[in-house]
Structure 1
Amino acid sequence: MTGVGLVGLGVGALAGQVASTSRGANALGSAVLGVLYVLRMIGDLGDGTLTWVSPIGWGQQMQPWGADRWWPLGLLLALTGLLLAAAVRLEARRDLGSGLLPDRPGPADAPARYGRPLGLALRLQRGPIIGWAITVLLAALLFGSVVDSMTDLLDDTAAPIAALAGGTGVDALLSLLVVMIALITTVFALQSAVSLRADEASGTVEPQLAGALSRTRWALERLLIPAAGTAVLLAVGGATMGAGYGSSTGDTGQTLRLAGAALAYWPAVMVLVGVAVALFGWVPRLAVPLTWGVLAGLWFVVMIGDALHLPAWLLDLLPFSATPAQPLEPLRWAPLVVMTLVAAGLIGAGVARFRARDVQPA
């Protein structure tokens, strides 16, 4: 995981030299990592050739729970060194304040909707929204296509599935894949939420607040994107996976079933959005790294928490663990309502603090 993360660092450093804005660099880096992830998945479904094309596949081939190979880590470190060296060389040669790809001139006039926080944010986040939508769709299609073929392997993988999903059988596998869709969607939600701090640090927010626009309205309109976008991506991702699985089994009811299963994770995602907003309000200069650190820790615990033998009460407090595993377990509304209230409280606390404090540019 560290080796793959270092390659991601190199990709981000190189993207920062190619693009002239942080949003452009984020979009480019995310697209590259998305392609590498899809190549790895296609390789695993095929003869394994494409797995070796992707650095993510190199990390997987270390097989820490099996063969315990160390030499693929050398490949990851070597690629990281090459990417960072290329980034340093490009940084020394390009113009300061610009990227290798010049910005295209925009239209002379802007639509009236860009005068609203929501309209402007949708325009600025258009690339990430489209990119994450494609990522969720591709992941859901691949997940749905392999569920039926994996049922023959469930007897051999009963222990890992039981450890990760809390049970065995097809529904346990489906619930594990639904969690994966929810985790992917969480990255989109947090990327949108931390853009509040990015706009404050860059000075974009100050001209918007110079008129009659209140800070509360600005923040809440901006947060409509991760709130509504998360719900849409979860529903579409679950429905797409259900349609793919249902087409192979002849069960059309799986589309709505898995759409509902994925939507059950909306409160959990919004709790993390609430954490991001609270950090933005109270510790703005540390908000972005702390937000991504929380997600990294959560992802780590969700994936291998059982192997770490963490206390059950601690796991149950985490948003994704507190959500009833869908569709494996009966849906319980109490934890979903509690998490929704917690998310609302965190968002309210963060927005209230932002309203009271000074704007803090970078």
Structure 2
Amino acid sequence: MIASKGALALLRLALRRDRVVLPVWIAVPAVVVAAIGSALADLYPQAGRRAALGATVTSAPALRALTGPVYDTSIGGLTAWRAVTFVTVLAALMSITTVIRHTRADEESGRAELVGACVVGRHAIVAATVLLAGAANLVLALVTALVLAAQGLSVAGSLAFGLAAGGAGWVFAGVAVVAAQLTEHARTGRGLAVAALGLAFVLRASGDATGDEAVSWLSPLGWAQRVRPFAGERWWAVALLAGTGLALVAVAAVLAGQRDLGAGLVAPRHGPRDAGARLASTPALAWRLQRGSLLGWSAAFAVAGGMFGSLAQSVGTIIQDNPRLAAMLALMGGEGALVDTFLATVLGLLGLVAGGYAVQATLRLRTEESALRAEPVLATAVRRASWTAGHLGAALAGTVVILAAGGLAAGLTHGIRAGGPAAEVPRLVAAAVLQAPAGWTLAGLAMLLFGALPRLVALAWAALVAFALIAQLGELLRLDDRVMSLSPFTHLPQLPGGTVTAGPLLWLTGVAAALAVAGVLAFGARDVSGD
């Protein structure tokens, strides 16, 4: 109790700091679930049509990899099938960002040291953060359950859905608090936690695609699906999520007692005393700071691309028995031949995720400024425009690199199964790289926010989530064309299988350039600060 003294006061402070962002994190999944449930009720009012949809998904390994299995063909069951993965990923991201922000990021900025100088226990900050993350996930679970129940779905199924999403978020809160003890920098801790989330998605997708339940059960996202809302709820799976989160928090408490404030259990590697000639320019410095993140993202994209590429050929084997599958994949955003439609859908998802890399890499500028590392650099002969251009260039080029890695892996695995890797690799690499202009647009927006409104750079992440919702669910929700056009991802060609029009790509590139230039100019006109 002494070690966590003052935790409730710190919890109130954390709630005040997150009074805007946490309600948004909670509201978005609730709105998405409500929209999906309403859209499915309109599109599939007859039980026969819902059963046909369920049969299509059950016999399509590639579809199961993207969205998971269908356990029940009622409106509630189909809503859970379509929404549970999306909502659990959002809950996990909410938990990761919240935990790292209030633990490792505060230690890195010095806030935690100031708080620790007051009358608070050694573990008060971690305790307050865990309480905050747990409360946020519980509220998310209850709000989501109320939204589903308000649509006339069963209370038990609605509560199971909400607890599955909140439980998955709670598990990744535990993952994030453990990562915060291991690393010395917030960026590294956040990267470890997000990498764990990516691994969980890959395990879940692989297990569902192959029908190997043992592999799916290795993933907390798979546990959330197997709560089976509206399909004979498994409440013990909810208990598994809750218990795993508690176990991870306990591990983090033990680890926290083994380290000093501000330090991580894994000490960063010391570099050479003197910088080499290759670090004599701002682009070289930006590359040095960004290379670890870029390599990690590239490896993750290669794994995901290879897995989905190996599944693509299985789509073609079921076209004759499942004529509705083409319509289903078209609803998800694809066009053209069935296998190409699946690949286009997968590459579109990779393009959305690459937008996250573009935002993260660009906002490294804000990290450097907040940590007071920008001022010493800019106090030399380095111009502001040159410094920002180095990081922005790394973000733009890195977006292309990670997409190419995903396309290369997908082309190799699909080509080997289809018997023509020499033909598949070039076209899938090209299809993947052509997703980059949408990511560049997000990088430009992040640059503008950094330059003009540095305290609101989180809006770049909000824009990514909004654009992803529009791109992935806009057709299902029958959004107006004017709303659909707001997302840069809806203007990308659906490749392979579609046609390439230079106009939208040039427009997106031009918008990205205009936003980036405006951001660079705005940064040149404001003061540099560490707040």
Q: Structure 1, residues 274-315: CA drift from partner, whole Å, max 9, x if none?
A: 11111111221221x222222223233333333333223211
Indicate the SS of the match to 2:475.
coil
Q: Structure 1, residues 11-52: CA drift from partner, whole Å, max 9, x if none?
A: 223211211112331332233233323322332244121111
Distance 1:101 1:213 in 2: 33
- Between structure 1 and structure 2, the one with the greater Rg is 2
Whichever residue aligns with residue 167 of structure 1, its letter is: E
Distance 1:175 1:220 in 2: 32
Give the alignment partner of residue 281 of structure 1, picking from 451, 456, 467.
451
Kept after mapping to 2: 8 A contact 1:136/1:184: no
User: Is 1:263 matched with 2:427?
Assistant: no
Equivalent residue pairs, number: 360
Bigger mean CA deviation after superposition, 47-56 or 73-82: 73-82
Partner of 1:230: 399
Q: In the TM superposition, what is the alpha-carbon distance from 1:259 to its structure 2 partner? A: 1.5
Kept after mapping to 1: 8 A contact 2:177/2:249: yes
Kept after mapping to 1: 8 A contact 2:411/2:426: yes
Distance 2:527 2:209 in 1: 52
Give the alignment partner of residue 493 of structure 2, picking from 304, 315, 324.
324
Partner of 1:35: 199
Bigger mean CA deviation after superposition, 141-150 or 33-42: 33-42
Partner of 2:146: none
Which runs of structure 2 are paired with 1:231-250 in the superposition (5 Å)? 231-250=400-419
Distance 2:475 2:241 in 1: 27
User: Is 1:52 matched with 2:217?
Assistant: yes
Q: Structure 1, residues 314-362: CA drift from partner, whole Å, max 9, x if none?
A: 1133111111211232111111111111000111111111111011213
User: Is 1:189 matched with 2:358?
Assistant: yes
Q: In the TM superposition, what is the alpha-carbon distance from 1:94 to its structure 2 partner? A: 3.2
Whichever residue aligns with residue 101 of structure 1, its letter is: V
Distance 1:79 1:316 in 2: 42
Kept after mapping to 2: 8 A contact 1:27/1:127: no
Which runs of structure 2 are paired with 1:1-362 in the superposition (5 Å)? 1=88, 2=91, 3=165, 4-46=168-210, 47-62=212-227, 67=231, 69=233, 71=235, 72-73=237-238, 75-84=240-249, 86-87=251-252, 90-91=255-256, 94-154=259-319, 155=322, 157-167=325-335, 169-251=338-420, 252-287=422-457, 289-362=458-531
Q: In the TM superposition, what is the alpha-carbon distance from 1:188 to its structure 2 partner? A: 2.0
Cα 1:130–1:279 change in 2 (3 A) is same
Scaled by the length of structure 1, the TM-score of the pair is 0.90
Q: In the TM superposition, what is the alpha-carbon distance from 1:196 to its structure 2 partner? A: 0.7
Indicate the SS of the match to 1:135.
helix
Indicate the SS of the match to 2:498.
coil
Kept after mapping to 2: 8 A contact 1:268/1:323: yes
Distance 2:518 2:474 in 1: 30
Gaps of 5+ in 2: 1-87, 92-164
Kept after mapping to 1: 8 A contact 2:258/2:265: no
Cα 1:75–1:307 change in 2 (3 A) is farther
Distance 1:128 1:236 in 2: 14
Cα 1:113–1:305 change in 2 (3 A) is same
Whichever residue aligns with residue 162 of structure 1, its letter is: A
Cα 1:304–1:75 change in 2 (3 A) is farther
Scaled by the length of structure 2, the TM-score of the pair is 0.63
Indicate the SS of the match to 1:347.
helix
Whichever residue aligns with residue 29 of structure 1, its letter is: A
Kept after mapping to 1: 8 A contact 2:334/2:345: no
Kept after mapping to 2: 8 A contact 1:241/1:255: yes
Q: Structure 1, residues 61-108: CA drift from partner, whole Å, max 9, x if none?
A: 3567x8485744554444344434544564466311111222333322
Partner of 2:152: none
Whichever residue aligns with residue 324 of structure 1, its letter is: P
Kept after mapping to 1: 8 A contact 2:333/2:475: no
Cα 1:62–1:306 change in 2 (3 A) is farther
Q: In the TM superposition, what is the alpha-carbon distance from 1:177 to its structure 2 partner? A: 1.1
Distance 1:254 1:68 in 2: 43
Distance 1:150 1:213 in 2: 54
Cα 1:91–1:175 change in 2 (3 A) is same
Cα 1:338–1:74 change in 2 (3 A) is farther
Bigger mean CA deviation after superposition, 51-60 or 328-337: 51-60
Name which structure has the greater RCO, CA cutoff 8 Å, separation 6+. 1
RMSD value, Cα:
2.4
Kept after mapping to 1: 8 A contact 2:344/2:495: yes
Whichever residue aligns with residue 372 of structure 2, its letter is: G
Segments of 4+ moved more than 6 angstroms: none
Indicate the SS of the match to 1:44.
helix
Cα 1:69–1:259 change in 2 (3 A) is farther
Indicate the SS of the match to 2:415.
helix
Whichever residue aligns with residue 39 of structure 1, its letter is: L
Gaps of 5+ in 1: none
Bigger mean CA deviation after superposition, 194-203 or 225-234: 225-234
